[in-house]
Amino acid sequence: MPLEEDIDNLIRIIALKNSVEHEGKAQADAVIAKFIGSRPDKRSTIKTLIPEIRSIVQSINNMSLAEQTSMLEKLAPEQLVKKQAVESAPSLPPLEGAIMGQVVTRFPPEPNGYPHIGHAKAAIIDEEYARMYNGKLILRFDDTNPLKEKLEYYDAIREGLDWLGVKPDIVKNTSDDISLIQEYGRKLVELGGAYVCTCSQQTMHDLRAKGLPCECRKDQSEALSRLEKLFNGSYKQNEAIIRFKGDMADQNTAMRDPTLFRIIEGDHPKLGSKIRVWPTYDFAAPIEDSLDGVTHAMRTKEYELRNALYFAILDRLGLRKPMMIEFSRLEFEGIPVSKRKIKPLIENGLIKSWDDPRLPTLSAFRRRGFVPEAIRKFVISLGITLAETKPPFEALEAYNRKVIDPVSMRLFFVKDPVELHVEGARAMEVVLKNHPTDAALGSRKIQVSDRFYISSDDTNLNVGDEIRLIELYNVKITKIERKDGKVLSVSAMPSGSEIQQSMPKIQWVAKEDIFDLQVLTPKQLYIGEEYNTNSLEVVKGVTESFMSGLKHGTVVQFVRFGFCRIDSDGTAIFTHR
Ligand code: ATP
Ligand code: MG
């Protein structure tokens, strides 16, 4: 049986990516696992797909690496962590219909949570276009639901954007215009383009499914008196709403008389409890965009069906229409890039704070040692495509590495330390450069004796092996003490200083110079649909005492381990390799 086109496509993309990452040979098992990860809905029927997956993998393995790369480039360019792209500055394509000096864009977050990398994508694209055309960027807090919004979140969004270096020309709240928006709502009812509906949710649900109008829509004689009642407080919450007069039988379900206003009793962070009739996003967004002079309204693709409503509202009110541009939502495999998904994790206590390093929030990226410049380049490299595939997290890491590598000190960290005794080694002071090429990063002095720590990961050794202690000397293993298969200690003797290609070259810490360090290492939060209970690994080890003099917030590169940002005394957070 031939595969559905989207499934076939997805499998090809996964297989090509796997192959390109492994010198041109994809592994069927890895491809199957990845596929289930992206399409957990297919888990139960995976058996029927396996032969197809194997045959796709085989056909791809018959291609050359160059052919595979160019095919992946065609099918899913965002999957290629392009070396030259990381090297050069990416840029966005020209904006349709843009006139120099007249472009107005806006970034409209709802202050109902902390900003994440998806918001960074939207805000950076909005800002880049405003700058490209010498125009303006509006930051508009889309705050029309008093039950969800909090001052804390407005502040968090401002802070996140500041950190990113996104500088809006105008900052406003949708709630600033609440009276005006209500006026337009009334006007729309008066014009017969909307009506006050008192039907129950169940009634509307059933009528929608049947494609039939309700009594409130049919009988307009009371529309205006109901409108008065709505605004003078005669209705309670859920007793009446304003609906757009669309078409209950429209193919596009978003046009089946959607809600434009509802009564919400609550304390709004800016307006308190004086406003009760609140517009929905569907109504407030087009009115605000139009009145704010927005020329290019950009939003994510999931709103696609609602574009018709957006323009119909402006049409009926005779308001100017901005151009609408869509791009895909940014998602990463196993990481929820959405406040809606992050908030419950925090509310359930699975995650303690919005800056937990496993989260894709801006505060978490900052805490992990990601820099704004890298996030911006990464976002621009994604462009404004509608591609459904998730970019690899490694692409973001590659941009970040490019920025932090030249400015981070190289230090030694020894995970899960095992003692190394170098018999007969003399005590001395060694001076190590903090960076191989940048002398400005200085150097450090370390007192070494005959006792060291090396990582248990590096103790897969045999007596007689020669290893290089990086930047020090070579030693020859003389004894390995083991218990229950675990190496307890290693003895060696000095064996010269000439570096041989074949020697394992490992980092070390002098026994008299240690600083205990734990490294919080974030892993994917979800494996498929399942919360990963091991998503925050704590790696314990020792580093050099030099570390104690470094400020919190400093990013260092632990040789053969990866980049880490110092979070607090004795704790660092793993950035990436
Ligand atoms: P969330 O699920 O995080 O609440 P949202 O779309 O409801 O998402 P808003 O605060 O309303 O969040 O979003 C503000 C802007 O950011 C919108 O224009 C939205 O399209 C964009 N945006 C939100 N999430 C993403 C994402 N993951 N990728 C790209 N853009 C996003
Ligand atoms: Mg929203």
Distance from the CA of 336 to the center of ligand 2, in angstroms?
15
Question: Is residue 79 pLDDT above 90, yes or no?
Answer: no
Query: Is 200 a domain residue?
Result: yes
How confident is the model over 145-172, as a mean pLDDT? 98
Answer whether 240's CB lies under 8 Å from 278's CB: no
Which domain-ending residue is among 373, 407, 441? 407
How confident is the model over 465-486, as a mean pLDDT? 97
Compute, in degrees rounded to 10, the torsion defined by CA atoms 403, 408, 410, 413.
Answer: -100
Query: Is 98 a domain residue?
Result: no
Distance from the CA of 296 to the center of ligand 1, in angstroms?
17
Q: Are 38 and 69 within one domain?
A: yes
**Structure confidence by residue, pLDDT tens digits, 215-256:** 999 988 899 999 999 999 999 999 999 999 999 999 999 999
Answer whether 49's CB lies under 8 Å from 10's CB: no
Question: Is residue 458 pLDDT above 90, yes or no?
Answer: yes
Query: Is 332 a domain residue?
Result: no
User: E-strand spans in 101-141?
Assistant: 104-107, 136-141
Q: Are 142 and 283 within one domain?
A: yes
Q: Which ligand is nearest to the CA of 339?
A: 1
- 158 by DSSP, 3-state: which? helix
Return the ∠ at Cα 400 (arms to 395 and 402), rounded to 5°.
100
C-alpha span between 347 and 340 (Å, rounded): 11
**Which pairs with CB-CB distance under 8 Å and at least 24 residues apart come from 422-426?**
422/450, 422/451, 422/452, 422/475, 422/491, 422/492, 422/493, 422/494, 423/450, 423/478, 423/491, 423/492, 423/493, 424/450, 424/493, 424/494, 425/449, 425/450, 425/475, 425/494, 426/450
Query: Is 572 a domain residue?
Result: yes
Ligand 1 touching residue 390 (CB < 6 A): no
Tell me what percent of the residues of the chain surpass a pLDDT of 70. Answer: 98
Ligand 1 touching residue 340 (CB < 6 A): yes
Ligand 1 touching residue 284 (CB < 6 A): no
Mean of the per-residue pLDDT values of the chain: 95
Distance from the CA of 337 to the center of ligand 2, in angstroms?
12
CATH number at residue 217: 3.40.50.620
Q: Are 315 and 251 within one domain?
A: yes
C-alpha span between 3 and 10 (Å, rounded): 11
Q: Which pLDDT belongs to residue 385?
A: 86
The closest residue, in CA terms, to atom 26 on ligand 1 is 118
Query: Is 97 a domain residue?
Result: no
Q: Are 443 and 403 within one domain?
A: no
Ligand 1 touching residue 122 (CB < 6 A): yes
Distance from the CA of 257 to the center of ligand 2, in angstroms?
20
Distance from the CA of 480 to the center of ligand 1, in angstroms?
56
Question: Is residue 84 pLDDT above 60, yes or no?
Answer: no
Q: Which pLDDT belongs to residue 529?
A: 87
Ligand 1 touching residue 401 (CB < 6 A): no
| Residue 561 CA from chain centroid, whole number | 23
The closest residue, in CA terms, to atom 24 on ligand 1 is 118
CATH number at residue 362: 1.10.1160.10
The closest residue, in CA terms, to atom 9 on ligand 1 is 109
Q: Which ligand is nearest to the CA of 324?
A: 1
Distance from the CA of 380 to the center of ligand 1, in angstroms?
17
- Domain holding 535, by residue range, is 409-576
Q: Are 348 and 386 within one domain?
A: yes
Query: Is 333 a domain residue?
Result: no
Element (H, E) at 264: none
Question: Is residue 143 pLDDT above 70, yes or no?
Answer: yes
Q: Which pLDDT belongs to residue 40?
A: 81
Q: Are 425 and 281 within one domain?
A: no
Q: Which pLDDT belongs to residue 182?
A: 98
Ligand 1 touching residue 385 (CB < 6 A): no
**Structure confidence by residue, pLDDT tens digits, 406-430:** 999 999 999 999 999 999 999 999 9
Query: Is 95 a domain residue?
Result: no
Distance from the CA of 444 to the center of ligand 2, in angstroms?
50
Which domain-ending residue is among 407, 429, 450? 407
Ligand 1 touching residue 120 (CB < 6 A): no
Q: Which pLDDT belongs to residue 73?
A: 85
Q: Are 81 and 123 within one domain?
A: no
Which domain-ending residue is among 372, 407, 442? 407
**Structure confidence by residue, pLDDT tens digits, 19-68:** 988 888 999 999 998 888 888 888 888 999 999 999 999 999 999 988 99
Partnered with residue 474 across adjacent β-strands are 468
How confident is the model over 117-124, as a mean pLDDT? 98
Ligand 1 atom at minimum distance from 302 CA: 20
Q: Are 402 and 254 within one domain?
A: no
How confident is the model over 295-310, as a mean pLDDT? 96
Query: Is 93 a domain residue?
Result: no
Most ligand 1 atoms within 8 A of CB, residue of 339, 346, 386, 390 to mutate: 339
At 351, the amino acid letter reads I
Ligand 1 touching residue 491 (CB < 6 A): no
Distance from the CA of 188 to the center of ligand 2, in angstroms?
24
C-alpha span between 13 and 391 (Å, rounded): 12
Question: Is residue 295 pLDDT above 90, yes or no?
Answer: yes
Q: Are 422 and 566 within one domain?
A: yes
Q: Are 508 and 377 within one domain?
A: no
Distance from the CA of 148 to the center of ligand 1, in angstroms?
15
The closest residue, in CA terms, to atom 27 on ligand 1 is 118
CATH number at residue 446: 2.40.240.10
Ligand 1 touching residue 109 (CB < 6 A): yes
Q: Are 570 and 499 within one domain?
A: yes
Number of domains in the chain: 4
Q: Which pLDDT belongs to residue 391?
A: 93
Burial class (CB in 10 A: 0-12, 13-18, 19+), 360: buried
Q: Are 472 and 500 within one domain?
A: yes
Q: Which ligand is nearest to the CA of 119?
A: 1
